[in-house]
Structure 1
Amino acid sequence: MFPVEEQAIAGNIRRLRKQANLTLEEAAGAADLTKSALSKIERGQISPPISTMLRIAAALNISINDFFTAEVQEPVYVLTRKNQGDTISRDGSQFGYVYEALGLRKRDKAAEPFIITINPGDPSGEFHHDGEEFIYMLSGQLEMRIEDEPIKLNAGDSLYFNSSHIHKTQVCGKNPARFICLFIQKERT
């Protein structure tokens, strides 16, 4: 067993990995470690060299200093590599919509960016919520209805609207519709 200080560091590594929403396997892979080695580090069974701690910090997109402090500073940026966004559940998930979060690890955000995929035949849900939405079509065709006014969107088109109005989506054609959607929270006064 290691002194309390080293146990606290091990606990911080585990806590920070979980805050980053990474599994043990994902974090270990990103840090070029085995799952077993990272597990032992997180449980305080082995004391990693600085070079290993630097790789773990890089995998978590944090500073190595964060392992030694209780207060963790917000990262300057959140990078999401192509096809590496976290798939999460939102209101449209019940209709088959797939939400790939592009900035999940950013805390206290004013906007939530996603790549959303809707397949032909997925039922159209009716939505309304505080804030605004920005949509940029990547591929496919989508019919957006805002307060029952139909708006056809093709690849390259964009739409910005007040999302407190009732809106729904429907795929047009035989291909999935894929688009960037930015949910923007209005500042409350």
Structure 2
Amino acid sequence: MGENENFAEKMKKLRAKKRISIEDLANKAGYSKKLLTQIENNEILAPVSVILSISQALSVATEEVLLSEKEQASPKSRSKQRKDTLQKRSENYSYEVLTTEGKNKHLNAFLVTIEPQQDHKMVAYHHPGEEFVYVLSGSLELKVGRNGYHLHPGEYQHFDSSKAHKLKSSSDVPTVILVTIYTP
């Protein structure tokens, strides 16, 4: 994959390479054909949870679709070196990939920044596995299934990520969270 390709282009190429129809990918990933078509056509940006599900359905490491070849070859370990891994997913939030993956790795960590008083303007997220959300700054409203949580710096929540969940910044400053996701 080229260095400047976006997720939609990579998804389309991987799907074609593996000869998987958009319908089959939607069924395997657990999302609608309409949503995946919108992502492939660059009409909407895929949230990280959808990217994780699509990567798993395509049997590829998440870093293969998130990071450029250069970034994959050179894992970052210091904050100054990680600046180029920041990716804007929508006007409301951005994330930075903190871990590199391999074929048999199941743990992903992201530094997520959500703009003040904003949420992800997508469907509620869900993906197989577990998720750990730790608030570094700002405050966060987290909804997991029917349960709601209001988290402040130093507070966290660990939950079954197959349950629909939503995140929202509830502060007047950007909310920064560490999100760790385990996928089986």
- Quickly name the TM-score band, shorter chain normalised: 0.5 to 0.7
In structure 2, what is the equivalent of residue 33 of structure 1? Answer: none
TM alignment of 1:11-160, pairs within 5 A: 19-21=69-71, 78-85=75-82, 86-88=85-87, 93-94=89-90, 96-104=92-100, 106-108=101-103, 109-124=105-120, 125=122, 126-160=124-158
1:131: Cα distance to partner? 1.1
CA distance in 2, matches of 1:95, 1:164: 25
Q: Unpaired runs of 5+ in structure 2?
A: 1-67
Q: Is the 8 A contact 1:95 1:123 kept in 2?
A: no
Q: Match of 1:123, SS?
A: coil
Give 1:96's aligned amino acid. Answer: N
Aligned residues: 112
CA distance in 2, matches of 1:123, 1:179: 13
Deviations 1:77-98 (A, max 9, x none): x552114331246xxx246321
Q: Quick one: percent identity of the two aligned structures?
A: 28
Q: Is the 8 A contact 2:118 2:170 kept in 1?
A: no
CA distance in 2, matches of 1:140, 1:121: 10
CA distance in 2, matches of 1:170, 1:149: 14
Give 1:149's aligned amino acid. Answer: N
CA distance in 2, matches of 1:182, 1:159: 11
Q: Is the 8 A contact 2:117 2:171 kept in 1?
A: no
Give 1:111's aligned amino acid. Answer: L
Q: Unpaired runs of 5+ in structure 1?
A: 1-17, 23-59, 62-77
Q: Match of 1:84, SS?
A: helix
Instruction: Give the alignment partner of residue 162 of structure 1, picking from 133, 136, 160.
Output: 160
Distance 1:159 1:143, change over 3 A: same
Give 1:107's aligned amino acid. Answer: G
Q: Match of 2:141, SS?
A: strand
The Cα RMSD (Å) is 2.2
Runs of 4+ off more than 6 Å: none
Deviations 1:28-53 (A, max 9, x none): xxxxxxxxxxxxxxxxxxxxxxxxxx
1:149: Cα distance to partner? 1.5
Distance 1:141 1:83, change over 3 A: farther
